[in-house]
């Protein structure tokens, strides 16, 4: 249902989850606790974190590291509507899906 220059948020999430090709994304920052934000962040050639590439197919794999005695808090990305992006330089950025404004040069409809 994508018109020229427009894409639905569900299609954006499907493309991100597929993990087959890097994507460009723009979103607005927001921190309600600190009452800051409003900056537009743009990143190119990103991938969704946690997606592993295997022979042209993307899979979400288990953590290859052995279990350690310390435990980390579960980020609950789906409950909190957040996703982690991996940038080309290896850095990671968290974004809130409802704040995505552009995806691969197309405006995002919520």
Q: What is the pLDDT of residues 80-91, one digit of tens each?
A: 788 999 999 999
- Across the chain, which distance is largest between two alpha carbons, in Å? 51
Strand 36-48 to strand 82-86: parallel, antiparallel, or no bridges (unpaired)?
A: antiparallel
Return the CATH class of domain 8-54+79-109: mainly beta
pLDDT at 71 over 80: no
pLDDT at 11 over 90: yes
Q: What is the spatial distance between Cα 4 and Cα 44, in angstroms, rounded to a whole number?
A: 20
DSSP letter at 63 equals P
The per-residue pLDDT for 80 is 76
pTM above 0.85, yes or no: no
């Amino acid at each position: 249902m994508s018109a020229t220059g427009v894409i639905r948020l569900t299609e954006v999430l499907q493309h991100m989850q597929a993990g087959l090709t890097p994507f460009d994304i723009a979103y607005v920052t927001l921190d309600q606790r600190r009452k800051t934000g409003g900056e537009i962040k743009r990143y190119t050639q990103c991938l969704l974190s946690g997606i592993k590439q295997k022979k042209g197919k993307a899979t979400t794999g288990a953590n290859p590291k052995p279990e350690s005695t310390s435990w980390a808090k579960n980020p609950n990305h789906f409950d909190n509507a957040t996703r982690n992006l991996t940038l080309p330089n290896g850095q990671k950025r968290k974004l809130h899906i409802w704040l995505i404004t552009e995806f691969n040069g197309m405006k995002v409809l919520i």
